Structures are given as C-alpha cells and as structure tokens.
Amino acid sequence: MPRVTFTPNLRRHVDCPPSEVEGATVREALEAAFADNPRARGYVLDDQGAVRKHVMVFVDGDVVQDRVGLSDAVAPGAEIYIMQALSGG
C-alpha cells in the first residue's frame, strides 16, 4: 500500500501522522488519507480539489505532474510526501 507522509511543518497545524492507504492514483491515496483526517484536506487541497498553490506533492521523490486531477499513478509501495512550498526572498 502507498504511504502518505506530511512534513512536520504541516503536522504542527493539524495532526496528520503518516498512514498506509489504498489507492492507484494520487487522488485515491490522498482521499483515503483524508477519510481518517478530514482537517488535513483543507491544508493540502483547495475548494475544487486541486493542490493548493503553496503545497508540493511528491511520489517517490518526483513532483506530481497533475496538480488538478491528481491522476499520477501510485505503485503499491510508493511514498507520497506532502510539504508546504517555501516562497519569498
């Protein structure tokens, strides 16, 4: 099963420990993770279900390409990592 992990920075705002979930796409895996933790959904996805502007999602170290539909494939043992992107200067 894929493993969904949130950075400690996100976990400061909402309790979202790493979890192993079912899912063949990023969308399926994230929705499974959010089923147990609905507050985390609002930190990661916007009202239309797309990844928020300042959030990055990686699958096995590669940035997710489909930030709207979240259709990127997820292998059974994949690591999905969610972090807030840094900006500013």
pLDDT score at 37: 86
CATH number at residue 29: 3.10.20.30
Q: Is residue 27 part of a domain?
A: yes
Confidence of residue 64 (pLDDT cuts 50, 70, 90): very high
How far is 50 from 59, CA to CA, in rounded Å? 16
For residue 79, give its domain range: 3-84
Give me the sign of the Cα torsion angle 62, 22, 70, 67. negative
Task: Encode pLDDT of 4-14 as tens digits.
Answer: 999 888 777 78
Task: Encode pLDDT of 1-51 as tens digits.
Answer: 999 999 888 777 788 889 999 999 999 999 999 998 888 999 999 999 999
Q: Hey, what's the torsion of the CAs at 50, 52, 23, 64, to 10 degrees?
A: 100
Q: Is residue 89 part of a domain?
A: no
Total domains, the chain: 1
Give me the mean pLDDT over the 68-75 stretch: 97
Minimal CA–CA distance to 70: which of 21, 31, 42?
Answer: 31
Global confidence as pTM: 0.89
Q: DSSP letters along 12-68, please?
A: HHS----EE---SBHHHHHHHHHHH-HHHHHHHB-TTSSBPTTEEEEETTEE-S-TT
Q: How far does Cα 7 stand from its chain's mean position?
A: 10
